[in-house]
Every structure is written in C-alpha cells, then in structure tokens.
Structure 1
Amino acid sequence: MSIKPFDRDALRDRVRNATPFPSLCIDGFLEEDFADRVLAAFPTYEQASTMGREFAALNERGKVQLTDSSKFPEPIAELNRLLASPEFRDDLSHIFDIPDLLDDPKLIGGGMHQTGPQGHLDVHVDFNYLRDRKLHRRLNILVYFNKDWQPEWGGNVELWDKKVKVCHHSFSPIFNRCVIFATSPISYHGVTAVKCPPGNTRKSFAGYYYTEQAPEGWDGTIHSTIFKARPNEVLKGKVLMPAEKMSRWVRRTFHDAKKLIKSK
C-alpha cells in the first residue's frame, strides 16, 4: 500500500482534541517513492488548463481543476483509487467518528488542483449536499505535492473559527503533507495568496467524502459554497463579495429563465 501505516486510534484522539473543528495534519502521508511518482505525473499548468476548468472569479482565481479521473496519469489515478478504497474510508470513519463514509466517483470540486502565482481561494464553507444523489458532504482530504516550497510563497490552507475572526491553523502546502477536516456549517477554511515565482505552481489532490445519513443536528438547510472575508479584507467583505454574490444571482436567474422559455 502506498499510504504509510498509521495509528488510527492515536489519530482519532488528535481529531477529538482539534480546534476549531475536527481536523488532522499528517506529514509524510504517502510512501516517498510513490509521492515522487505522483508529483512527476502532474501536467504543467498550461496543459492542465486545456484538460480541466480554470477559475478567474473574485473568490477563487488563478487555479485550474481537473475532476475527470479518466484523464489522470496513472500514479495520480492510483492515488485517487487509494483515497476512495473501502479500507481507507473505514479508517477515516473510525478516526472522525463518521460511520459509512462514501467516496465521490465524480470528484465534484475535487481531483487535481494547481494554483499559479497570484492565485488564491477566499475563506468559505463548502456546499453541504448533493441533490442528485441525496448525499451529505462530511469530510475533505487534501494532499500536497510541492517540493522546496518556501514560506514566503504563501498558499497556506487556513482553518478559521465560525465567525472568521481567529485563524486557528495555517498549514504550508509542503510536499507529501495531508490535511483532512470535517465539513460542517462552521468549517471555514481558505488558501492564502500564492506568491511563488513564475514557472512554479501549488499542486494538490483533493477528495471529498459523503454519507447517506444526515449529520447529527442537521436542520434541513441545503446551501452552496458560502464565502466570508478575513478580518483584514474590509473592502472585499462589505463591497466586492456582495456585488459578486448579486452578479451570480443575476446570471443564475437569467439562465433559469432561458431554460424555462425553451421548455415551453
């Protein structure tokens, strides 16, 4: 197996004591030679942009995402299979006290990610439900593939409190580091601005896990991704984010209206 052996009970204890929500950071997550092969299989940013989706919105920009597993080079396809395997899902269920975790073969929002210089991802909580499959989103897993990543290059994944006032953790995306955390109404997280030199990118692989059963205490609210500004982002929080939200609403309403007209 290419995931290094770990003590699930010890990790479970760490998760139970984590703040501000259940989370885990594991360094040296994969066997070193396998992690090297995964890194070598990553396409360039330009190649990836022709294969997947590139983001250029206010809240998320300078990033390309490839979710179609049929396009993954074999070492990356193998990583995807490992993270989706029943054995690993059972380990995660034990560690996070979430029974019957399911993987997502469609990798909605997941898969191969690359972020170039000046790219970023604002603080947010993820969508919580897949309507078409009636599944509740429960866990995020992120594995990083950035050798010799310098602290000044940013790109840290941050875990914030529910009011987005205090950042509890800021993990650099160093090579072979894995960050796992629960998806919930308070699991605010984001990525600081990437400031790597031209020709470099922040590389990661993301997977998400679901359950058919609703989380304990769920009130029935279904929501898409919710963004919030950091405390030092006053203009973005008071002006730019509301404007972006309104723009998305207008586009979505126009799209739905066109579909309604065509159906008549």
Structure 2
Amino acid sequence: MRRQLDAAHEPCFRADPFPHYVWDGILPADALRAAADAYPDTSVMTAKPGIPRWHSQDRHLAGPALRDLCEALLGDDLAAFLGEVTGVEGLHTEPEGDWGSYRLAGHGAVHHAHVGSNRHPETGRLRRYSLFTYLTEGWRPEDGGWLELGEPVDGAAPARIMPSFNRSVLIETTSRSLHGVSLLRAPSPVLRRTVTVHFWTDPAADGAA
C-alpha cells in the first residue's frame, strides 16, 4: 500500500471550519469495487432505529474483499503516511479495539451534526483523526449524503464534501469537530457505502486534547 500512497496526488487541505484533508483515487479502484460488493447483509449489522443506516465493527462478517480493505486501512503504512501528512507523531489504529466501522445508508438517512468523543474510555488514548473512504460508484450531487463540517450558518454547513467513489476524507477529531451527513436522496436500492477508520495517539506523547 505504501507505493500507492507515495504515488497519490497531494491532498486538498482546508483549515476551515477545522483541519481536514481530501484525496481522490488514493486506493486501487478495483479493490474498492470488490469491497463494495462484499458488505454483509444488513440483517447482521447494527441498525439505527427508524433510520435506514447500518454499521458494524465485526470484520469477520464482511466478505474477503471488504475485510482486506479494512485491514489495509488499519495497517502501519497508512498510519505512518498520515502522520507525515499531518505532522502528528505516533498515529496508530486499534485493529482489535475501537478501530472504526463499515457503514451503509439508504434513501432518507441523515446523520445530524455531532461531535464524537475523542478520548478512549479504557486506554485514555486520544482519537486525533478519522478517515472516511467512500465506496459507491456513480454518486451524483443530487443523491445527497454529503459530509458536512462545522456549525451550520443560515441552514448551511461551512464545508460540504460529496461522497464520491474512491474519495477519502481525513478530519481532525477534537471538541470543535462538528460534522454530520446531509439527507440521503439516492433512489433505492442505491446505498451510501463508507469505511471509517480512527487514528489515535498516546496522550502523554503530545498533550493534545
């Protein structure tokens, strides 16, 4: 994976409303297509009551291609690469802990703006960044489901990022990292497919909060 990362285009960096990076085509497209077809049935994933959203952290439920993608995103190569990009030393994932999840969302789904906890309740480690990778081909602007960053102003988020196929978005996860997902309007049976991976540091290493 390191060769692919080294060949990737420079990310689009934006400081507002909080630091985030956007890459297009950072991963092999064929691998993402295979992973998109390897999601388990929603019946074995955790559902959001009343909203067509499902997620799972159980990589054993995923098909081989999705499992391989998750393992690649959890690998040391990516953590080291992101450490170089962000300047944060000691970034690492937690493959056997709160590593992230793979997610599905259907027509009518929404995820209102929120700030997640950035401190691990058991280890005390700090979640510094989250990486969202999008797997649905042919996503259109009118399909909705945009990643929205920051406090809405006059009903609109300061930053909006379309979940295009093979787009990866890295967001800083601090107490000001308000983010959500706009109403999903893609017609059934189209699903918004995402893999999320969290990156942590030892709080003693840098004193971040």
**TM-score of the two chains, using structure 1 as the length reference:** 0.71
Which secondary structure state, in structure 2, belongs to the residue aligned with residue 119 of structure 1? coil
Partner of 1:134: 124
Partner of 2:170: 180
- Alpha-carbon displacement from aligned partner over 1:32-58 (angstroms, at most 9, x marks no partner): 221221122124xxx22x22210126x
Question: CA RMSD of the aligned region, Å?
Answer: 2.3
- Aligned-residue offset at 1:7: 6.2
Gaps of 5+ in 1: 219-264
Partner of 1:28: 25
Which secondary structure state, in structure 2, belongs to the residue aligned with residue 87 of structure 1? helix
Change (3 A) 1:67 1:107: farther
Larger Cα-atom Rg: 1
Partner of 2:79: 89
Residues 2 and 31, structure 1, Cα contact 8 Å, conserved in 2: no
- Aligned-residue offset at 1:18: 2.6
2-structure distance, mates of 1:22, 1:7: 23
**TM-score of the two chains, using structure 2 as the length reference:** 0.88
Which secondary structure state, in structure 2, belongs to the residue aligned with residue 195 of structure 1? coil
Change (3 A) 1:5 1:187: same
2-structure distance, mates of 1:185, 1:7: 33
Residues 2 and 34, structure 1, Cα contact 8 Å, conserved in 2: no
1:206 equivalent to 2:192? Answer no
Which secondary structure state, in structure 1, belongs to the residue aligned with residue 4 of structure 2? coil
Q: What does residue range 99-118 of structure 1 map to in structure 2 within 5 Å?
A: 99-106=89-96, 108=98, 110-118=100-108
Amino acid at match of 1:56: P
* Equivalent residue in structure 1 for 2:49, among 48, 51, 56: 56
Q: Which has the higher contact order (CA 8 A, sep 6+)?
A: 2
Q: How many residues align?
A: 206
2-structure distance, mates of 1:200, 1:9: 29
2-structure distance, mates of 1:213, 1:9: 31
Change (3 A) 1:52 1:32: same
The percent identity for this pair of structures is: 22
- Aligned-residue offset at 1:217: 5.5
Partner of 2:144: 154
Change (3 A) 1:120 1:21: same
- Aligned-residue offset at 1:146: 1.1
- Alpha-carbon displacement from aligned partner over 1:157-216 (angstroms, at most 9, x marks no partner): 0111xx443623211111111111110111111100111112111111111111112664
